[in-house]
Structure 1
Amino acid sequence: MGSLQLQSIRKSYGGHEVLKGIDLEVKDGEFVIFVGPSGCGKSTLLRTIAGLEDATSGSVQIDGVEVGHVAPAKRGIAMVFQSYALYPHLTVKDNISLGLKQAGVPKPEIDDKVRKAAGMLSLDPYLARRPAELSGGQRQRVAIGRAIVREPKLFLFDEPLSNLDAALRVNTRLEIARLHRSLKATMIYVTHDQVEAMTLADKIVVLNGGRIEQVGSPMELYNRPANLFVAGFIGSPQMNFIDGEKFGDSAKTVGIRPEHIGLSRDGGKWKAKVIHVEHLGADTIVYLESDDVGPLTVRLFGEHRYAADDVVHATPVIGGLHRFDADGRVINSGQ
């Protein structure tokens, strides 16, 4: 089992409150990702769950047991950090098994657990090597293997892929997804990369200023954002926001995803000039300036031959509109 309940978690440093009353339930076996801008409190919240930070007030329960005064090593968690934190003088096998040796686990059991973890992570050929002989992706897999052999109730990941290059991030992300399916373990993962969040999570927790803005599946957040912050944070390119009065709508703000705007040279709702075009192969991103509604970003599937200074007409897909009130809360969404 590996359920987690957070109730009214607050964390202050002197007079500065970082976490402002966090309530969250994570079910056994879920993959939950915390996202949000820098300074939103996501890493502080993860460290509070781990016991590396003490909550100023509130309750942390793992499997229904209050662990607020339990030492990190006794909470049944394993943490994988941004830095690999491997011992350079130890082999891969010894790095993975060190915690088990320190806990007095019998050698045959250690060998069995290391063998299984190495198999899951494709580390068998590297068990006799030292960290300096490994790539960044391989080192991160060793750090993950060190967590696996502990058989924790909760896996906690703190931006584990941020030190890897783009190709390695993709490969390691796939390995983490496969690992979650294999272990059926509860995983809580912090990232600033919304692509990681959208592709890995069962449930995303969007944090902002020490508060939870919205919790939901990736597509729930994408299609039905609760407010302007979530609508603007989730999705790349970012959602377009148009003043409701300029749009001709009673809402204070109207949001439209870039893929929900069509372009034509012949006619449409808003006349605009092309400012810049990104040709990405599978997609074409067109940046516009319209006298009617201001700047717009349009995402077109496939290759389209628009260029800077072209005059075009943009038309929104009415079913793709998101309307927000003066407080930034959603009125209704088009999905």
Structure 2
Amino acid sequence: MSGALTLTGVSKSFGKTEVIQDIDLTVEPGEFCVFVGPSGCGKSILLRMIAGLEDVTTGEVAMNGRRINELPPAKREIAMVFQSYALYPHLTVRGNMGLALKQAGEGRAAIAAATDRAAGMLSLQPLMERRPAELSGGQRQRVAIGRAIVRRPKLFLFDEPLSNLDAALRVATRIEIARLHRELGATMIYVTHDQIEAMTLADKIVVLRAGRIEQVGRPMDLYNDPDNIFVAGFIGSPQMNFLPGGLVGLSSAQVGIRPEHLTISAEAGQIAGRVSHVEKLGGETLTYVAAETPGLLTVRQFGEQDHRVDAPVWLTPDPRRILHFDAEGRRLRG
């Protein structure tokens, strides 16, 4: 059975320094929840508190309504996949995957069945007698995930599991994790600093900054309807453009516009500037325009576009897509 996780008033301090501040959060059974935020925001520490690897200073961590603050990690029915893989070099793939069950006193037949099942899900059957040194980074990460699956936990925790992989492997492993989530129907919490991973994997994203939750919501809700400038700027790649409201005839202190919601013209528009740089990515073109007041603005266009560097251009935002913010960066709605 998948686990429902509830955090109530959870805080963490190291001495006088509070690194996690009054977190209230519910992760529903079977949900894929992603913690995202810049380096140092507290997302990995929060994950370790859920796992029992860090003590909770104040507040409660509960699984399926049961307080687990005082339970050691091995008793929490939680499996964690680390960035570093954490495999035993002297054990084979089979030995690494089945170790937790062996330590729990499971019989050989049960261990073999569980490891074979996980190996089949992850296409690891040809590698079962190899040791970690004989595996690629992507294969090692699949073994680490398989070791977690074998335990049949109520909750899976992933701590930046793709950061050691190259770009192509990150995409492939990301797809694999999403497939496993669908097949297992398991509750998963995934930590990353990469908002693209967050957008593509999550049912629910938790955006953290300086130990606090800035916003919780579905990926496209955060993208289209952020609560503040921080969330608006962090979610989305390329980043949202920000400019003074007066520049486009609005009274807001500041407005935001996504790169795909700006049009570019050599003839007329609302914002004057010059082309600073052009990135042709095949399926899309990113044009960076230096405007006098807001600075560098990004325009995203479909397909291949030709814009000469240093050419004068005009930009016009889609008025239906402009987001308004007050002087403190809070979203103005309505």
Give me the TM-score of the superposition, normalised by structure 2. Answer: 0.98
Shift of 1:179: 0.3
1:272-311 Cα deviation digits (max 9, x unpaired): 1101111111111111112354321111111101121111
Distance between the aligned counterparts of 1:123 and 1:267, measured in 2? 59
Q: Give the Cα–Cα distance (whole angstroms) in 2 for the partners of residues 26 and 263 of structure 1.
A: 42
Q: Distance in 2 between matches of 1:242 and 1:332?
A: 17
Deviations 1:305-330 (A, max 9, x none): 11211111111111110001112111
Separation in 2, partners of 1:63, 1:40: 27
- In structure 2, distance between residues paired with 1:265 and 1:79: 53
Report the counterpart of residue 157 of structure 2 in structure 1. 156
Q: Distance in 2 between matches of 1:303 and 1:310?
A: 17
For 1:83 and 1:214, the matched residues in 2 are separated by 29
Checking the alignment, whether the CA contact within 8 Å between 1:247 and 1:293 is kept in structure 2 is no
- 1:116 paired with 2:117, answer yes
How many Å separate the matches in 1 of 2:264 and 2:19?
44
Identical-residue share of aligned pairs (%): 63
Q: Which position in structure 2 is the counterpart of 1:232? A: 233
With normalisation by structure 1, the TM-score equals: 0.98
* Secondary structure at the counterpart of residue 40 of structure 2: coil
Distance across 1 between alignment mates of 2:233 and 2:293: 21
Rounded Cα–Cα distance in structure 1 between residues aligned with 2:327 and 2:158 = 37
Structure 2 residue identity aligned to 1:254? V
SS at match of 2:333: strand
1-structure distance, mates of 2:314, 2:333: 26
The answer to whether the 8 Å contact 2:247/2:271 transfers is: no
SS at match of 1:52: coil
Match of 1:127 in 2: 128
Retained in 2: the 8 A contact 1:97–1:146?
Answer: yes
1:15 and 1:34 map into 2 onto residues whose CA distance is 25
1:34·1:204 contact (CA, 8 Å) conserved in 2? yes
Q: In structure 2, what is the equivalent of residue 88 of structure 1?
A: 89
1:101-250 superposed matches below 5 A: 101-250=102-251
What root-mean-square deviation, in Å, do the aligned CA atoms of Structure 1 and Structure 2 show?
1.0
Equivalent position of 1:10 in the other structure: 11
Q: Residue 100 in 1 paired to residue 101 in 2?
A: yes
Unaligned runs of 5+ residues in structure 1 are none
- 2:66 corresponding residue in structure 1: 65
Which sits farther off after the overlay, 53-62 or 285-294? 285-294
Is 1:271–1:292's contact at 8 Å kept on the other side of the alignment?
Answer: no
For the residues of structure 2 that align with 1:146 and 1:87, how far apart are their CA atoms? 11
Could you say what secondary structure the match of 1:295 adopts?
strand
Unaligned runs of 5+ in 2: none
Q: Corresponding residue for 1:29?
A: 30
